[in-house]
Structures are given as C-alpha cells and as structure tokens.
Structure 1
Amino acid sequence: MANPPVLTAVPPTPAREKGSDFSELSRRIAEAGLLRRRPLYYTVRFGAVGTALAGGVAAFLVLGDSWSQLIVAAALAVVFGQLGLAAHDLAHRQVFSRRRPSEAGGLLVANVLLGMSYGWWMNKHTRHHANPNHEKKDPDVAPDIIVWSRRQAKQAKGPARFIGKHQAALFFPLLTLEGLNLSFSSFKALRSPSMKRPVLEGTLLVAHFAVYFGGLFLVLSPVRALAFIAVHQGLFGIYLGSVFAPNHKGMPMIEEGTELDFLRRQVLTSRNVDGGVFIDVFMGGLNYQIEHHLFPSMPTPALGRAQVITERYCAELGIPYCRTGLLASHRQALRHLRQVGEPLRDKA
C-alpha cells in the first residue's frame, strides 16, 4: 500500500525576472478585477439564509410538540451549515473590507446564531491558512482523536490510539459530534489568554444556548427535544465535515523544516472540488479551495474566474494543481485516514 504523500523538499522553481511567482499571479488576478467587493451578491445570499432561518423557526413554532419537528431539525442543520459558511466569509473580510463591521457580523452569525466563538475560530483558522497541512503548525491536523500522519499514529495514546485503528470507518459517525465539539471548544477557549473579548463572547454564547435549549424544551417534550438536538446537531456536523474535509484531507502533509514559497505551500496542500452550481452553493465557494487560500479576502462569486487564471498559471510553472469531484475527494480523504492509521493496526 502506498504511503500518504508528504512534502519534504521544495519542488523546482523556474527562475523569474522580477518578483516572486505569487506576485505575478496576484497581478493577473488584480487586473481581472476579482478582488472587488460584491455587496449585491452578499445581500442576496445572506438575505436568503436569513429567510430560511426565519422560516425554520416559524415552522418549529407552528408544528408544536410533534415528531414532524425532526424534518425541521434536518432543514435547520442545512441552514446552520450555511450560517457557518457566512461566518467564514465575514471572518476573511470578503463581505466588508473594514475590520469592525466584519467582526460585528461575525459575532452575530457565529456566537449568537450558531453558538460558536468567533474569536476562537478566527484564531484557529488564521493559523490553518498560514500553514495548511503542516504537522505541527496547522491546528486542523493536530492529533486529537484522529491522527493525520503516520508520525502522529506512532505517537498516539489513549482514545486516539484506539480510534486511529478504524478512523476511516468512524470518520462520518464522529462528524455527528462536530457541531457540539465546536461549541464545547468555544466555551473552553474563553479562558485562553488569546481571547480578546471573553466576557462579550461568553455572554453571547450563553444567550444562544439559553434560547436554543429553552425553546426546544418549552415547545417539545423532553424525548422529542433530545431527538431534535440529535438530528439537528448530528446533520449539522456531517454537513460541516462534508464541506471542509475535501479541501485538504488526503493532500500532501508538510514536515517540519520543509521550505516552500507561499504559492506552492497553498496550492500543493489544497484540492478543488468540481460540480457546478450545486457544489458552489453546497460548499459556499470553498470548493475553490486553492484560490481561496491564495486570496482569502476574494469574494465567493469571483473564485470561479480566479480558478481559470490560477490553474493556467500553475501549468506554466509546472506546479501540480488538484481538481476532483466531491465523491472522489472524500474517497481520497478516507483512503489517507486508512493509510496513516496502518501503524496502529499493525501493533494490534
């Protein structure tokens, strides 16, 4: 069985007369006008998500104490996924160019509507963007209960050691807990020195869950309320995982000491997902992961045009550029999880 890809050396870089390889790509992107804000797009998109949220809440109140509420729970899981994508775009200043309105919008969407700390997630996500798939610097591939490299597998202890043996099969079941994990990590992060506004963020988180749990147990019987939470949070977690896992999982990991320029660090560790308009909406533009990592503040509707320019430019430089379908991307990610867990199975 082939070993998971690991980047340990710098791919050869063709000489350029002026500037870095990325600066030339950045010039082409700017000349195409792809970094301009798109207020109309975000007004329509956020308006649609807000309408869907209001509709879900109205349906919940109208149905009352009924098992039909599980349909509402499933629908709201999709709405929450879209809210997560909206918070992501706000954090990257794709919507507003200034910090204050971006933060205000992020706190509203993340803390108040989702029950996730905007400050904690922003810190974590910024570190991911700086060093994607780096074994020690990317928090998204830090060994927790899942291991992402053979090195991590060999050092795994406790739950990670047990789960790592079967992590490919357990990946989607574990995703059902991801929504709750984000909220738990958010409350835990309130005590972190890196949290800028712990009182404000904590208050907003408490307000979210007071309304969320209060509304559920006020309208529904305890059994139905618990069933609603299980369906809503479980499908929400699977949705998030289905959006974020295809982007980097199964792509090359970067070992400590590897030197890569910005362009190659972002392109070689990222994967784009093809699929047309449906995938664009489902993944909120994150299916253009390569372009998003190269230009994080680029508005979502510009990413498709940026892909054409970036892929052609990478071909000019001989830089591998990965594109695949959604199912194929998940197969690659699961294959990677199975391969890196092999050392744990060999010891069993």
Structure 2
Amino acid sequence: MTVVDTSRVRAPGERGSDFAKLSRRIAQAGLLDKRPGYYTARIGLVAGLFAGSWALFAAIGDSWWQVPVAVLLAVAFAQVTLLAHDLAHGQISRSRRTSRMAGLLVGNLAVGLSYGWWMDKHTRHHANPNHEDHDPDVSPEVLVWSENQAAGAGRVAKIIGRWQAFLFFPLLTLEGLNLKVASFRALRRESLKNRRVEGLLLVAHNLAYLGAVFLVLSPGKALVFLAVHLAGYGVYLGCTFAPNHKGMPVLTAEDELDFLRRQVLTSRNVRGGRLVTTALGGLNYQIEHHLFPSMPTANLRKAQPIVSDYCRSIGVDYAECGLFASWGQALRHLHEVGRPLRAGSRRSQDW
C-alpha cells in the first residue's frame, strides 16, 4: 500500500480544517449553485438518445443489423444511469423527494437498476473510498484490491485473482447482468425503502424490455441482442468508474485521514476534454466530485483548477492522467496485488 500523509487530521466540519477553507472558496465562486439549464439540456439529449435507440430498434425489425443497435442502446442505458447517479447526489434538484421519484423512474423503470440499492451502496463508497473494510466497490468477492485481501481471499477470488488484470475487461461484460440480478436480490432487504414500488418498477422494466426484444426478433437474434447489449452496458459502466479509484491507495483501519485527504488521495482525475467529460458523465473530475458530491456536473470543470491549486499549496498529492493511462494504472495494480496468489499457486504445483 502507498504511504499517505496523515499529518493534518481534522474533522471536515472544523472551521479551520483544510476542507473547510477549500469549501469556502468553492462556495464563494458559486460552484455549488444548481444548473437547471444545463440539466434541462442534458436530460433532453439523453432522453432523445434513449427513445431514438428504441425507435431505431422498432424500425429495423428482425435483422442482424440490430447488433449495432444493441451497442447504441448500451450507450443510452449508460447515459441514463449516469443521470440517475446525479439525481442520487442531489445535483439536479434540492428536493430529496423529487430526486427519489425521478431516480426510481430513471433507474428502476428505464434501465432496470434498483435506485435505492445502488444509492445505498454508492453512499457507503463515498464515505470510505477505497477502504478495504468499508467500501463495497473494493469488496473481494471476485477480484482482490490489496495484498491483505489476497491473503484472506475466498476460493473464487483466489482462482480469478491470479490473473485478474487479464480477466478484468472480460468480467465487465457480465456487469450489466449482475446489476439486474443484484437489483432483484436487494428487494429481499427490509432496510430497502419503497421495496414494493421498486419491485413493481423493476418487473415492469424487464417485462417491457424482454417483451420488446422477443416480440421483434427471432429467438436466436434476440439472445444475441441481449448478450451484446448487456455486455456493452457493463463494459461502458466499468470503463467509466474504474479509472477513478482503481490503482490508487487502498486504505485500512490503520489509516486515519481527514475528509479532504481521504477523498483526494484515493481518487484520480482523467484528462481528455469535453468528449471524455460527456462520455464519463463528468466523473473524470472524480476528485472534485468526491469532495463536493452535490456539485452539478457542469461546475466540476470550473472547480478543478481551484482544487488542484489548493491541494498543491497544502502538500497533498493530486492525481491526474489520461484515460488510457488510468486504465493501465488500474490493470497494473490488479496484477501486482495478485502476485501472492500466483506465487502460492506455483508453490502448490511444485509440492
């Protein structure tokens, strides 16, 4: 694990803390203000892409030309999911009730993703990013993210973890299906709010989704369409979220960091201009997003120079690189932490 600076540990709400000083600068610049015009335009464009993809699907009919439509629809589903992400963080509306209602429609009904389950999971990630005990995104169920996890890995993680860097992208093709399955499994939790509504919307989505595909396409083409669409959806989301934290320091209970350092030192920004920002839904400004989760996506770019300059002024590392470089760092990290598993496998074979 990379050693991180713990010399300035203060509570995030303390008036003189490093985060409090940065937060005042951001607030004075007006970057926490809502952006209704931006979100009106973005919602319109994403809704047009989503509806247009389904209209194209209906127009083409029973044809193998539906394969590229499946890819286009995967992009549309991912962009809708990124909007659900912004709703969950309160970036679009100040009203929690409005955000939740819109999130259920956008998440559960439109793309078949449990909004309540994902919001709970993502909130825990934000509270403890890259913490091997508390961040569900680095849970060692299939992949291992640290040498500590490799030492205590279960059977499946031990097998996959040996070559997980090479298996990472192939495994992402299953993530779209995994999200749907996990959404239904979450309905068994009594802690999930509005379980009945969530369940009804998930069932409605899947009946409409599968019904449309098998009504228009022959069984063989329908199965190929579903495979391509869900695989593309999973890879898109994986390539959106993986560059942000994978390959950055993994924290343990021994790491006592203040709020600012906990968020900045475990996050990575991705360069690339407006095209990358559009493709990643603004999550390429991951450091700014983690520091100010409710900040509208359109303001993250403006906050970036303020945050980066401030981090440099107080001696906090601020990680930033290109998209492909970020994937490379993530894969090298996965390969490195899998080394003990490969070594253990060779010892077993020698024995």
> What's the TM-score once normalised by structure 2's chain length?
0.95
Match of 2:201 among 180, 200, 204: 204
1:1-348 equivalent positions in 2, closer than 5 A: 4-5=1-2, 7=4, 10-12=6-8, 19-348=16-345
Q: Using a 3 Å threshold, how does the CA distance of structure 1 residues 230 and 223 change in structure 2: closer, same or farther? A: same
* 2:168 partner letter: F
Q: Is the 8 A contact 1:6 1:254 kept in 2?
A: no
Cα distance, 1:258 vs structure 2: 1.7
CA distance in 1, matches of 2:31, 2:17: 20
What letter is aligned with 1:74? V
Q: Tell me how far apart the structure 2 counterparts of residues 192 and 305 of structure 1 sit (CA, whole Å).
A: 40
SS at match of 1:254: coil
Tell me the CA shift for residue 257 of structure 1: 2.9
How many Å separate the matches in 2 of 1:13 and 1:145? 33
TM-score, structure 1 normalization: 0.96
Contact (CA 8 Å) 2:158, 2:341: kept in 1 or not?
Answer: yes
d(CA) in 2 for partners of 1:193, 1:60? 38
> Whole-Å Cα distance in 2 between the matches of residues 338 and 186 of structure 1?
30
The residue identity in structure 2 corresponding to 1:243 is T
Q: Cα offset for 1:318? A: 0.5
- Cα deviation digits, residues 142-169 of structure 1 (max 9, x gap): 1111111111111112211110001000
Task: Using the TM superposition, give the Cα deviation of residue 255 of structure 1 relative to its aligned residue in structure 2, in angstroms.
Answer: 1.0
Say how many residue pairs are matched.
342
Mapped partners of 1:89, 1:131: distance in 2: 19
Structure 1 gaps of 5+ residues are none
Question: What RMSD, in angstroms, separates the aligned Cα atoms of the two structures?
Answer: 1.3
Residue type of the alignment partner of 1:187:
F
Distance across 2 between alignment mates of 1:288 and 1:89: 13
Confirm or deny: 8 A CA contact 2:9 2:258 kept in the other structure.
Answer: no
Partner amino acid, structure 1, of 2:240: V
Q: What amino acid is the match of 1:338?
A: H
SS at structure 1 position matched to 2:321: strand
| Distance in 2 (alpha carbons) for counterparts of 1:12 and 1:49 | 42
Q: Does the CA-based 8 Å contact 1:29-1:35 persist in structure 2?
A: yes
Q: Which 5+ residue runs of structure 2 have no aligned equivalent?
A: 346-351
Residue 198 of structure 1: how far off its partner (Å): 1.0
Name the % identity. Answer: 59
